[in-house]
Amino acid sequence: MRDRMVLSFVLNAHLPFIRENEPGGAEERRLFEHICETYLPLLELCDRLEEDHVPFRLAFSLSPALCHMLNDELLKERFHDYMDHRIRFGEAELCRGSGSSGEQELARCFLERMTRRRAFYEKRCGADIPGVFREFQAKGRIELLGSAATGAFLPFYSELPEAVQAQFEIALASHRSFFEKNPQGFWLPELGWSPELDEYLRSYNLSYTIVNPHALFTGTPQALNGNFYPVKTPRGTLILGRDFNVYRDFWNEEDGLVHDPGYLDIRRDAGYELPFEHLYSYLKSCRGRSATGYTYWAKNGGLYDPLLAGQKAAAAAKLFLERRIAQLSAARELIGGQCISLNACNAGEFGFHWREGPAFLEALFRESARNRQVQFMNPLEYLYTQDTASYQTMMPEFSSWGVNGYAESWLDASNDWIYRHIFRSLERMRELADRFPENSGLKERTLNQAAREILLVQEAAWPKMMGGGENMRYARCQIENSLRNFTTIYESLGSNYISTEWLTSLEKRNNIFPDINYRVFRKKR
């Protein structure tokens, strides 16, 4: 067993926290599309593999923000409506006379799939997606990593220890509430690593984290075994490097595995292509044209063939496995030990962005079960099989998986203005926590809401969206709203007047972390 080469998949499932007063917003639809196209299909494939006694291992980081949205009663109710709406649209598509027989058959296929997923969500999951992940974790099939409370790019806050402390402590408390145990691994949002974070990982008894490979190649000293073998920091944090060759195999624009012309072209959804009169009943609740889940065309411009696409995904899985075996064989000759190829990516890349992604993963696990050269292991499982004395001691360099590998995705001319306001608000939050250490009742509620707002404004997705695109205005609005809410609370506490009605309304809307304790922001002594 120890002679077999090791593959590992770590999928980061995170979306920024949203809970709009009115349904149908773009970010809410994005959440529901991820549920339909990624989270449910991945859980379905886990069920099928387990039923067929096919060994599999997957690691997930389900962020606290995502878990709260998945289990929020209002959002679950809206998700039920969303699924019903898609089913009704599919039924209308079957009655539409202008579609070809091929389109009609595809509509029937997508309708049956949506109906099946609704039943899976309601009956198998009991509308509790984190609960099913917890079930597979208990069986040893899935490893669940912790992550920061609200997806903050943590290197930016390393000089504000209370901010980083809050992101860790609130996240770990949330993880325990959803998954009933402490994580051993910690997913740094955007793989944002800086040496200062090592202290926090060890302080919270976290065993390992994952970095982008150039963090190891440019570290002090340079990692001798590259990203194919773990290293440890001087404090003892274990570091695994992401295998960038895997990502390139998938997403290379010229010959990436996801770009087969027979795969579904998700850009040509019926919601964007059909005449408005066919879509009126669907779009009137969506604030404009949006995806319906009914997409009839392949990337080559022809009619989509689900059977052919599934065969292509299976062939891609076989090719992927052959490439990893060749790569790991060469690495093992250089390293002389049991090396690992770790693919760390966003979960949405398997389903939401690439519809055939779940079928690829299922074929990959089935193929690997027949191959005696390679095995899948989760990161912690792999680390337990290694001799820690063999790990090189080094400190990875500041890095991320953003554009060019550092921080320009979250700091440029489009968004640099926000950080002076965030840092000032964080200093004020620390001031409030120190000034009101033992308050209760209405004032404690107010301070807890201030803590929620300052966590929400640190979401790394917002400054990234402000670099351009259709969501730029929405991201700016989210940042400004959280800053405005926090400032209102700060000034209200200063004047000793709090509007109970306004506070209650804000608590209902931004209700993340119901058990939050604002004292986590108290200044470290």
Q: Which amino acid is at 515?
A: D
- Confidence at residue 98, expressed as pLDDT on a 0 to 100 scale: 58
User: Comparing C-alpha atoms, which of 223, 225, 247, 246 is closest to residue 233?
Assistant: 223
Q: How many CA atoms does the CB half-sphere of 155 hold within 13 Å?
A: 20
Q: Is 287 left (phi over 0), alpha (psi -120 to 50) or beta?
A: left
Let me know whether 241 and 322 are in one domain.
yes
Q: Which two tokens stand for residue 281?
A: 């009943």
- For residue 297, is it within any domain? no
In three-state secondary structure terms, 407 is coil
238 close to 391: Cβ distance less than 8 angstroms: yes
Query: Does pLDDT of 163 surpass 80?
Result: yes
Dist CA 51 CA 45 (whole Å): 10
Least confident of 89-103, 113-127, 252-266, 510-524: 89-103
Rg over CA atoms, the chain: 24
- For residue 99, is it within any domain? no
* Angle of the 472-495 helix axis to the 417-435 helix axis, nearest 10: 30
Let me know whether 454 and 393 are in one domain.
no
pLDDT digits (tens, 9 = 90+) for 15-74: 999 998 888 788 999 999 999 999 999 999 999 999 999 999 999 999 999 999 999 999
Q: Which domain holds residue 340?
A: 5-16+37-59+128-257+305-350+358-403
In three-state secondary structure terms, 220 is strand
Let me know whether 398 and 420 are in one domain.
no
- For residue 453, is it within any domain? yes
Dist CA 477 CA 494 (whole Å): 25
Q: Which two tokens stand for residue 161?
A: 């220890």
60 close to 142: Cβ distance less than 8 angstroms: yes
Average of per-residue pLDDT across 113-129: 97
Let me know whether 374 and 466 are in one domain.
no
Indicate the average pLDDT of the chain. Answer: 93
Query: Does pLDDT of 102 surpass 80?
Result: yes
- For residue 87, is it within any domain? no
Quick one: 39 exposed, middle or buried, by C-beta within 10 A (0-12, 13-18, 19+)? buried
Q: How many domains does the chain have?
A: 2
Q: What is the pTM of this model?
A: 0.95
Q: 286 falls in which pLDDT band (50, 70, 90)? A: low
pLDDT digits (tens, 9 = 90+) for 201-252: 999 999 999 999 999 999 999 999 999 999 999 999 999 999 989 988 998 8
- Confidence at residue 282, expressed as pLDDT on a 0 to 100 scale: 64
What is the CATH number for 146?
3.20.110.10
Let me know whether 225 and 366 are in one domain.
yes
Q: 1 falls in which pLDDT band (50, 70, 90)? A: very low
pLDDT digits (tens, 9 = 90+) for 307-347: 999 999 999 999 999 999 999 999 988 887 779 999 999 99
Least confident of 192-196, 330-334, 483-487: 330-334
What is the CATH number for 428?
1.20.1430.10
- H or E element in which residue 175 lies: helix 161-179
Average of per-residue pLDDT across 107-122: 96
In three-state secondary structure terms, 298 is strand
pLDDT digits (tens, 9 = 90+) for 133-162: 999 999 999 999 999 999 999 999 999 999
